Chain A
């Protein structure tokens, strides 16, 4: 199933995306006489598999049987605003240097010899950077003028744990989403640690949905594509990662408890603005679209503060 948080008429609700429609979950469940679930995605994730199954039953009944034409709890996707699916319980985790070709080009620009990481290069982004599909990414030129995009697969953890073996890692995953790991390159480089350059307000849009493993059984088989003002910039197989999804979850959980709702962004593929000569930084008014097949596409507009 493809789960979203949407707003219509001023309020935010949990929704299921079925084709071109968004079904508002709480009234739909009441209409179907199904077990109610909370009206927010983080609570659904935290409540565990029984609650996920309740939601899945609603999804199946809608996929199979549709809905009455006068159902007030169904809207067309174009009528609603997709919000950030949920706010995770801590900073989003991110993996750097996870696509070899991206690394090779990036290191050539620095320039420095390519070093292939022996373990995932984990860092975090500020929680205040998180926003949703359609949100403006507002940068402030007092802080940065080298804003860049990075389309990445996002893992959403469903079952917490510690010291998770690779073989069990997929059982801990609730689903997947699409994230843009927006980066202020001069801050990222000058501060040594990546955190600050990747944590400016609005620098972590994700969505538009969280797709569960039923819909995305193998994220490695999906394709990642990014457009800036309609120009295709990134077009790469998601599965070309140095550390795959199961390895990332396993590595992160060694010695450290991961929790339901934690998110991990898996690194970006070749084609970011930093790699071009001359480099192509995002400017006021640019529209960035990040898509991963099987999950969806987020679209954000770049704005410069004060304009």
Chain B
């Protein structure tokens, strides 16, 4: 299933993709589909429930496929697609996980990842204009990321257990300020500026992603493909990375991780290229979707 959150007539609702560029409003369709949902119903709650609500959602989806003309089945173009949710904690980036950087072997060959985090205030809707002040940073670049959403708790897990705890996958853009990474030494502030994490709109449930460790992950700047990566190009696969992270740190339902590949400072350009006003950055993950972000420096 492809799950999303959207706004229609100033109401925010949870949707499931049905067919080509159409979504069903889950709450509005539930009664007709004969499905009862929890009172407080959100996409964050669905993820935190693990697979607890997937049967109900699947029945809503089936009903919508059979009733494509129902008023609760909407065109994607008629709604505003939002980011899936604001997580309870910072989003974890598995930094240093890329095996190659711009086609060159990662000089940091040891498999100890540079985990660092992005504040939840950085989340932004797909397509939203991202603005920052030039006095705060002059060196913003971006990396396309496979975003992993967690459905079950993990602690000292095996890679197999960790892989099985993934709720779903989505695409996000990790905006990063190179000058702030250098100025602050540690990196989280540099990746946590407001709007620095557009993600979504869809979370694709894990059952629909045959092999999360073999997905093309690309980034385009103003239509030119600057980065072409693959989730196979990592030191630690999705399950291995989560298992390694869980050694001493609890992973909880609703947590978000970025896999960490491809990795490229300054969009991989020599000399480094940094964002300019008017640029449009598009991150794509094969089979998941894409997220587009226009930027403006003020």
Q: In the complex, are the beta carbons of A191 and B89 less than 8 A apart?
A: no
Check A144 against B132 for contact (C-beta < 8 Å).
no
Interface residues of B in 20-60 (CB under 8 A from A): none
Interface residue A119 (Cβ < 8 Å from any Cβ of B): yes
Measured CB to CB, the closest approach of chain A to B159, in angstroms, equals: 15
Q: Is A126 an interface residue (CB 8 A)?
A: yes
Complex Cα gap A192–B114 (Å):
6
Known: A162-B194, A201-B250. A195 touches B115 (CB 8 A): yes
Complex interface bits, A72-98 against B, C-beta within 8 A gives 1, otherwise 0: 000000000000000001110000110
Asked if A232 is an interface residue, CB under 8 A from chain B, the answer is no
Query: Are B117 and A91 in contact (CB-based, < 8 A)?
Result: yes
**B245 contacts across to A, CB distance below 8 A:** 196
| Known contacts A123-B116, A124-B117, A128-B250; is-contact A192 B96 (Cβ 8 Å) | yes
- The segment from A50-58, A218-226, A255-263, A281-289 found at the interface with B is A255-263
Within the complex, what minimum Cβ distance (angstroms) separates B169 from chain A? 22
Residues of A within 8 A of B250 (CB): 126, 128, 201
Binding site secondary structure of chain B: loop
Number of interface residues of A (CB under 8 A): 42
Give Cα distance in the complex from A187 to B112, angstroms.
Answer: 9
Specify which of B117, B133, B194, B245 lies most central, judged by the most chain A CB atoms within 10 Å of its CB: B117
Which of A184, A194, A252 is the one whose CB lies under 8 Å from B248?
A184
CB distance from B236 to the nearest CB of A (A): 13
**B273 / chain A contacts, CB cutoff of 8 Å:** none
**Most-contacted residue by chain A among B92, B96, B121, B156 (CB, 10 A):** B121
Q: How many residues of chain B get a CB closer than 8 Å to chain A's CBs? A: 38
**Are A139 and B248 in contact, CB atoms less than 8 angstroms apart?**
yes
Say yes or no: A200 contacts B248, CB within 8 Å. Answer: yes
In the bound complex, residues from chain A placing their C-beta under 8 Å from that of B247 are: 140, 142-143
- B186 partner, pick from A90, A122, A144, A184, beta carbons under 8 A: A122
Q: Are A90 and B188 in contact (CB under 8 A)?
A: no
Interface residues of A in 82-124 (CB under 8 A from B): 89-91, 96-97, 117-124
Q: Are B136 and A255 in contact (CB under 8 A)?
A: yes
Closest approach, in angstroms, between the C-beta of B212 and any C-beta of chain A? Answer: 22
Binary CB contact string for chain A from 250 to 272 against chain B (1 if under 8 A, 0 otherwise):
00101111010000000000000
Interface residues in B214-267 (C-beta closer than 8 Å to A): 245, 247-250, 252
Residue in contact with A91 in the complex, picked from B112, B114, B119, B133, CB distance below 8 Å: B119
Q: Complex Cα distance A120/B183, Å?
A: 8
Nearest-neighbour CB distance to chain B for A106, whole angstroms, equals 13
A190-B184 in contact (CB<8A): no
Which of B89, B96, B122, B133 lies in contact with A127, CB distance below 8 A? B89
In the complex, given contacts A128-B250, A193-B186, what are 9 additional A-B residue pairs having Cβ atoms less than 8 angstroms apart? A90-B90, A122-B186, A191-B113, A192-B112, A194-B186, A196-B245, A252-B189, A255-B136, A256-B193
A-B residue pairs, 4 tightest by C-beta: A143-B248, A255-B136, A123-B186, A200-B248
A sample of 9 cross-chain residue pairs with beta-carbon separation below 8 angstroms, ordered by A number, consists of A140-B156, A142-B248, A191-B114, A191-B115, A192-B95, A196-B113, A201-B248, A255-B133, A256-B193
